[in-house]
Chains A and B, each alone.
Chain A
Amino acid sequence: MFHMHFWIQGFVLTEFATLSPKRMAMRRFLSHKAAVVSCVLLAVMVLAVILSPITARYGVNEQVRKPPNTFLPPQRLAWFGTDEIGRDMYSRLIYGIKVSLIIGLFSALISTVVGCVIGAVAGFRGGRFDDVVMRVTDLFLAFPFLVALLVVRNTIGGIGWLTAIIGDKSSPRFVVFLLSFFGWMGVARIVRGQILALKEREFIEAARAVGATRRYIVRRHLLPNSIGPIMVALSFAVVGSIIAESTLAFFGYGPQAGDGGTSLGILVGAAKGAVQSGYWWIAVFPCFALVLISLAINFIGDALRDATDPRLDRGE
């Protein structure tokens, strides 16, 4: 039986038995309509990407048959129009979303895992290690992100043996590692903060009093209790990575289209030139897709935060 206090402006209004915290969180998440719609939308997108052999109408670099096929406005033949060499924008968008989602997901996962470990150690051990980690993250978080990204990209991209592991500068794998290199800091700070706050709580004291080991406390109590903020951070990291990838690509420093690949960033980057000539469809569809994805994940992240934060008096 779980007990819940109902607070308003600091007063206990009532206190009663209720659903388990997990079920409550689930219920609160589902009450966010925008987040639920976002989940459905993302699911549809992921499905379209996985089924790209069926959903895409042409190959990545395949030109629409029937010349002249360059810069066709949207029509039956090419739903979202064609680009400067006559490729179908709709199909390219699907391939682009695929690459961007993969980059976003993997780099967010790597940064979250690394961030959790570093944050947990820093928070639990404290001392010199904690100081150094926090200084470094302070500096990087305050430094212009794009500059750091570009400089580090070139620097680690120039180290021969490293590129053997993380891939060439222009490969999606390299972009994943590059984004993870910066992504862990935010997560580490969140986890560290959680651990510092939880460390003072009674149930941790109690666990320590009965002789639980440090590793046990971290695994059994501290990490599960910070799972909410970690999930939230993860979802925001996915958006962050997708946008960062597209920003890099926009400036020509992202994954390259060399082997016929594409990404949302590459597609949006192409928009800059097309816009000046008035080919609106080349700009509008990729931009719209990118905004939709980032909006959807942001909504989900926000709903997760609401759902996992046990305070009820947020004013709703």
Chain B
Amino acid sequence: MMGELVLSIRDLRVTFETPLGQLEAVRGVDIDVHEGEMIGVVGESGSGKSVTFLAAMGLLPHQAKVSGSVMLNGQEMLGASNKVLRNMRGGVMSMIFQDPLSALNPVHRIGDQIVEMLKAHQPKMSNKDAAKRAVELLDVVGIPQAAERAHQYPHEFSGGMRQRVVIAIAIANNPKVLIADEPTTALDVTVQAQILEVIERVQKSFGTAVVLITHDLGVIARVADRVNVMYAGCNVEKGGVDSLFDHPSHPYTRGLLASLPHEGINRLTPITGFPPNMLTPPTGCGFAPRCSHVTDACLATLPPIRTFGDLETACIRAEEIVVKAGLS
């Protein structure tokens, strides 16, 4: 019942030239997004999850070397001309960001910032129509008295309200894909739920595919259809949200789940150690140094991602681990 494939990322690699050397932020990532679905991307800071989608949008600075393939709506994004990229950005795929307090230009009115997005992709639209549409959009994302608020500046809005504005800008041109990069991290818990609700409403009523980038597994469990776990610039595990939460196979995913509060469990188990330095990435599995199941084979080569039951995993010992977990 999956819809058409709208975004397909294949073997994406991103390397940054830094004063300290080459930094391998993303090391061969594959992600598929289908029409109208909500896909969660989980990982900690520095796992490459944001960089992956910035690369897909063509928003990385020029020091970044990007290779692989990003097909968006049948159009290759990597190496595409500026004109094509501009049409796709904000038109077919748009993005909302982590910190709503700084994501809006402080010197322009809210309404004007939405109008700018509208007119960038619908140049024939009149100023009056664009202004009217901007107010409608503010209304859609749940901003009361939208007509008056459109004339205000960002600093006159609360954090949650600003995030709604950012969403209004992002969905202005009915994009096929909406990338939400930790949209709730900077917000209060009560506001988080409201913002998630707005995003879900957008997904359901406009049929927009949503990529929800987060480190919060709770959020994923609540709204996502499929999950993609990333670690040290690689996919480590992916699959349907239920299967992944029910019987995770990769030690990292298991660790993440174990560090979440559960009913009936009164001790949380943290993952010990630190993520690797991506200036000198390990040759083997990125998680191996922190893994309790590590063998010599894990350290030798980077394990490829493979099908494992109804999941895909990058752990070479997935079978043994699942069996062991089942026994204990």
Contacts and interface: CB of A to CB of B under 8 A. Distances in A.
Given A5-B45, A6-B46, A8-B61, A14 B19 contact: no
A21 to B, nearest CB: 15
Given A6-B18, A8-B61, A316-B19, A13 B276 contact: no
A31 interface: yes
Contact of B46 (A9, A10, A13): A13
Task: Provide the main secondary structure of the chain B interface.
Answer: loop
Given A6-B23, A8-B61, A11-B50, A16 B16 contact: no
A14 B23 contact: yes
Interface string A8-28: 111111111100000000001
Contacts of A14: 23, 25, 46, 275, 277-279
Contact of B61 (A5, A6, A9): A9
Given A5-B45, A8-B61, A9-B61, A15 B275 contact: yes
A316 B277 CA distance: 20
Interface in A29-83: 31
A163 B230 CA distance: 73
A312 interface: yes
Contacts of A9: 54, 60-61
A8 B98 CA distance: 14
Contacts of B60: 8-9
Given A8-B61, A11-B51, A16 B279 contact: yes
A269 to B, nearest CB: 44
A13 B25 contact: yes
A15 B19 contact: no
Interface string A123-144: 0000000000000000000000
A13 B46 CA distance: 4
Contacts of B279: 14, 16
Contacts of A13: 16, 23, 25, 46, 51, 278
Contacts of B18: 6, 312
A11 B274 contact: no
Binding site of A, secondary structure by majority: helix, strand, loop or mixed?
strand
A17 B277 contact: yes
B301 to A, nearest CB: 21
Residue among B99, B102, B277 facing the most chain A CB atoms (10 A cut-off): B277
Contacts of A16: 274-279
Interface string B44-62: 0110001100100000110
B221 to A, nearest CB: 24
Interface string B90-115: 00000000110010000000000000
B272 to A, nearest CB: 14
Given A13-B51, A16-B276, A8 B16 contact: yes
A106 B274 CA distance: 48
Interface residues of B, number: 23
Contacts of A6: 18, 23, 46, 278
A312 B61 CA distance: 14
A16 B273 CA distance: 11
A10 B186 CA distance: 13
Interface in B250-270: none
Contacts of A10: 98-99, 102
Interface string B35-50: 0000000000110001
Contacts of B61: 8-9
A16 B232 CA distance: 12
Interface centre among A14, A17, A31 (most CB of B within 10 A): A14
A230 B212 CA distance: 44
Contacts of A8: 16, 60-61, 63-64
A11 to B, nearest CB: 5
Which of B51, B63, B276 gathers most chain A CB within 10 Å? B51
A9 B54 CA distance: 11
B298 to A, nearest CB: 20
B299 to A, nearest CB: 19
Contacts of B54: 9, 11
Contacts of B274: 15-17
A312 B19 contact: yes
B90 to A, nearest CB: 18
Nearest to A13: B25
From B46, B50, B275, B276, name the one whose CB has the most chain A CB atoms within 10 angstroms: B46
A106 B16 CA distance: 45
A77 B278 CA distance: 63
A12 B276 contact: no
B16 A15 contact: no
B56 to A, nearest CB: 14
Contacts of B46: 5-6, 12-15
A71 to B, nearest CB: 52
Interface string B164-189: 00000000000000000000000000
Nearest to A315: B61
Nearest to B97: A10
Nearest to B14: A13
Contacts of B45: 5, 12, 15
Q: Which of B16, B45, B54 has the most CB of A within 10 A?
A: B45
8 contacts: A5-B45, A6-B23, A10-B98, A13-B278, A14-B277, A15-B45, A16-B278, A31-B19
8 tightest A-B CB contacts, nearest first: A16-B277, A14-B278, A12-B45, A14-B46, A15-B46, A11-B50, A12-B46, A13-B25
Interface of B: 16, 18-19, 23, 25, 45-46, 50-51, 54, 60-61, 63-64, 98-99, 102, 274-279
Interface of A: 5-6, 8-17, 28, 31, 312, 316
Given A6-B46, A17-B274, A31-B19, 16 more contacts: A5-B46, A8-B16, A9-B61, A11-B51, A11-B54, A13-B23, A13-B46, A13-B278, A14-B25, A14-B278, A15-B46, A16-B274, A16-B276, A16-B277, A16-B279, A312-B18
